[in-house]
Structure 1
Amino acid sequence: MTLRLDLHHGGPPLDFRADLPKGVITALVGPSGSGKTSILRAVAGLLRLKRARIAMGDEVWDDGRLHLRARHRPIGFVPQHYGLFPHMTALGNVETALTHLPAKERRARAESCIALAHVAGLETRYPRELSGGQRQRVALARAIARDPRLLLLDEPFSAVDRSTRKRLYLELRRLHEQLHTTILLVTHDLDEAAQLASHLCLIRHGRLLQQGPTAEVMARPRCEEAARLLDIPNVFEGEIEEGDPAGPFLLWGPHRLRTTGQRPEETGSRQRWAVLPTNVLLARTDKPWGSHLENPVPALVEDVVLMGGDAVVWVRPRGLPEERVQMRLPARAVRRYSVVSGTEVTMCLRAADIVLLRESRP
């Protein structure tokens, strides 16, 4: 699916260009006010833009001149607060999407969708008589009633508790496996995106920062804005030094780090870079964990916080008094090697895990 959206009035400015893969769940992630809902409304046909191109395959829905009305687009839409009619039962709400069918077929199709959404037995209840999770399922049943080619979900899990949310995640994944529908999911929750989506779009101030396979985007942010949006705490600055065919070296204070597979523009230039906390390895100087340490950096442990089966460890690299590196390690390893505040350690940064960040486009 091709999206080209441009809006500079009446809401968050949009300058959004993306190609969404067919038949997968794509998550649109960004902070409040970044334009996520405006993008969804434009795709749904509820927001008309002067400059836009929205197409699914060879079918153009919007190109600035042509504007296909919402009711003619092959979509299903679940708004943030579900949009159920309070005076209608669950069955009646689902049937509102099927007014083109005769009454008997309409009822049969609505009941089938209600069963598919796991709310069978609640057909005669009104929205006020349903829990948040049940209302969400009814809204989803209505959205899939017309066999949409595209399903739009706007923060669909924000109004339910944690345990209900986990169940709904599983149900959505199962539903997607059954229907193979393209889904565009708006969320601000990175964990939610990681669990549900195979494709991820990061958006800020109405423009696309990065898109791609979810695991790849989360592991390798393209720019510092993307790294901050992904809540990666380890973002630093170094200097590029000419390396070898594998990649350049990165000078970080007194430390010379090998990188791989990346080509910055200019040797000697300042370079922002990042590394995920889970990709920082640690060894005690008196209890080495292995014989080969890649990019070893002597450091001093400043703080350790145990969080369930994990431990968050902060270290201060030698020769870089202003820098603080966060790592996330198995709690059992931290206990086994007696890693506590004041311990001298060697921090290891694998070349493949060092991400050189590009400058953000203004």
Structure 2
Amino acid sequence: TTVLRCVAGLQRLDGRFALDGEVWQDDDAFRPTHARPIGYVFQEASLFPHLSVRANLLYGHRRTVGRGVPETIRVDEVIELLGLSRLFDRGVPHLSGGERQRVAVGRALLAQPKLLLMDEPLAALDRFSKDEILPYLERLHDALSVPVLYVSHDIAEVERLADHLVLLKEGRVVASGPVQELQADPTLPIARMPEAGVTLPATVAGHEPAYGLTALALAGGRLLVPGDLGAEGTPRRVRIAASDVSLARRPAPDSTILNVLPGRIAAAEPQDGVQVMAVVALGEDGAGARLLARVTRKSWDALGLAPGQPVFVQIKGVALVNREAAS
């Protein structure tokens, strides 16, 4: 939150901030908040309760476009992306929590920002409302070119929405990089979480209709996943939990596990004296996507596993991180 307040110009700490070559703050200059083209979405929707959805959406739009700011984000585009057409004439008291946040996001976008700041925008919502709004945020991610700084403590939100991750602890950067790279670093705190895993880009590569399966291609191999996940070539994002990955020195001749791929152990990190978190790169040459595998130290020692060794990666479960357009 402090980082976002500084970017917005609401709080000043030492440092420099520039966006697209424009310096908003350095040792010699400080651009005030009203002169920074930002949109800000808070934990609470903070809509004007006496105005309709329409009036709330157009409030910032009139104050920017009406003063000559180019309309790079159109009203009809935002209404379509956020599914707001049926809510247009409602009053704010008649909206659900998820609907209010969608309107708040729309209002922020229609102010024509060059940067969107989102401070735990789903924190005040229950799980049902979060699941309702996340597909709309994914649509914004896919359709708009506005960069977003998104603050969250919920790793599930990060996995669905983020491309680049910055981990902060006590005001300092612990790590920064592409999401899947940081997820696959066994030395970082997120690898010690019970729900540790990696999210990976994949592409629909075929179908087995007789068994209701879809083949997904990713770097270093193919996965079979239940369900029809779209036409060939459709991009998907999948999540593979560390607890759903086991390692073997040779493939099991008879097994119910469909997804067994060759790979190489790239790194390993002891955890709590009982378990080892291994990073496994898919492909016989170890040049493919990296997965996490949480194994007991006893199994690790019994199999004589070590970084650099070839293994067979047994994937017991693959979760689809929903990237489908919301209706």
State the TM-score, normalized to the length of structure 1. Answer: 0.54
Following superposition, the deviation at residue 199 of structure 1 comes to: 0.7
2:118–2:151 CA contact under 8 A, matched in 1: yes
Q: Which residue of 1 aligns with 2:32?
A: 69
1:78–1:154 CA contact under 8 A, matched in 2: yes
CA distance in 2, matches of 1:344, 1:212: 29
| Residues 1:75 and 1:348: Cα distance change in structure 2 (over 3 Å) | farther
Q: Which residue of 1 aligns with 2:173?
A: 208
CA distance in 2, matches of 1:324, 1:287: 29
CA distance in 2, matches of 1:140, 1:293: 43
| Residues 1:56 and 1:100: Cα distance change in structure 2 (over 3 Å) | closer
1:91–1:111 CA contact under 8 A, matched in 2: no
Q: 1:1-362 alignment to 2 at 5 Å? A: 37-49=1-13, 51-98=14-61, 99-102=63-66, 110=75, 113-221=78-186, 223=187, 226-227=188-189, 229-232=190-193, 277=243, 281=247, 323-325=273-275, 346-347=302-303, 349=305, 351=307
Amino acid at match of 2:38: I
Following superposition, the deviation at residue 184 of structure 1 comes to: 0.9
Higher mean C-alpha displacement, 201-210 vs 165-174: 165-174
Following superposition, the deviation at residue 132 of structure 1 comes to: 0.8
* Secondary structure of 2:192's aligned partner: coil
Q: Which residue of 2 aligns with 1:237?
A: none
CA distance in 2, matches of 1:293, 1:39: 40
Following superposition, the deviation at residue 194 of structure 1 comes to: 1.2
Q: Which residue of 2 aligns with 1:336?
A: none
2:185–2:191 CA contact under 8 A, matched in 1: no
| Residues 1:68 and 1:125: Cα distance change in structure 2 (over 3 Å) | same
Identify unmatched segments of 5+ residues in structure 2.
Answer: 195-241, 279-297, 310-327
1:75–1:151 CA contact under 8 A, matched in 2: yes
| Residues 1:280 and 1:204: Cα distance change in structure 2 (over 3 Å) | farther
Deviations along 1:79-120, one digit per CA (max 9) or x if unpaired, are: 1112212222212222221224459x99x9656533432111
Amino acid at match of 2:181: E
CA distance in 1, matches of 2:253, 2:299: 11
CA distance in 2, matches of 1:343, 1:207: 36
Higher mean C-alpha displacement, 119-128 vs 196-205: 119-128
CA distance in 2, matches of 1:283, 1:345: 12
CA distance in 2, matches of 1:230, 1:139: 33
Root mean square deviation of aligned Cα: 4.0
| Residues 1:65 and 1:343: Cα distance change in structure 2 (over 3 Å) | closer
Amino acid at match of 2:144: L
| Residues 1:231 and 1:84: Cα distance change in structure 2 (over 3 Å) | farther
CA distance in 2, matches of 1:157, 1:352: 42
| Residues 1:55 and 1:102: Cα distance change in structure 2 (over 3 Å) | closer
| Residues 1:288 and 1:179: Cα distance change in structure 2 (over 3 Å) | closer
Relative contact order (C-alpha < 8 Å, sep 6+): which is higher? Answer: 1
Count matched residues. Answer: 229
Following superposition, the deviation at residue 192 of structure 1 comes to: 1.4
Following superposition, the deviation at residue 217 of structure 1 comes to: 0.2
| Residues 1:219 and 1:349: Cα distance change in structure 2 (over 3 Å) | farther
2:81–2:140 CA contact under 8 A, matched in 1: yes
Q: Which residue of 1 aligns with 2:286?
A: none
1:202–1:208 CA contact under 8 A, matched in 2: yes
CA distance in 2, matches of 1:216, 1:203: 16
State the TM-score, normalized to the length of structure 2. Answer: 0.59
Following superposition, the deviation at residue 123 of structure 1 comes to: 2.2
Q: Which residue of 1 aligns with 2:318?
A: none
2:184–2:191 CA contact under 8 A, matched in 1: no
Amino acid at match of 2:53: A
CA distance in 2, matches of 1:85, 1:327: 49
Deviations along 1:135-194, one digit per CA (max 9) or x if unpaired, are: 010001001103322111111122223243234222112122221211111000112111
| Residues 1:350 and 1:96: Cα distance change in structure 2 (over 3 Å) | farther
CA distance in 1, matches of 2:162, 2:308: 24
| Residues 1:118 and 1:323: Cα distance change in structure 2 (over 3 Å) | same
CA distance in 2, matches of 1:59, 1:175: 24
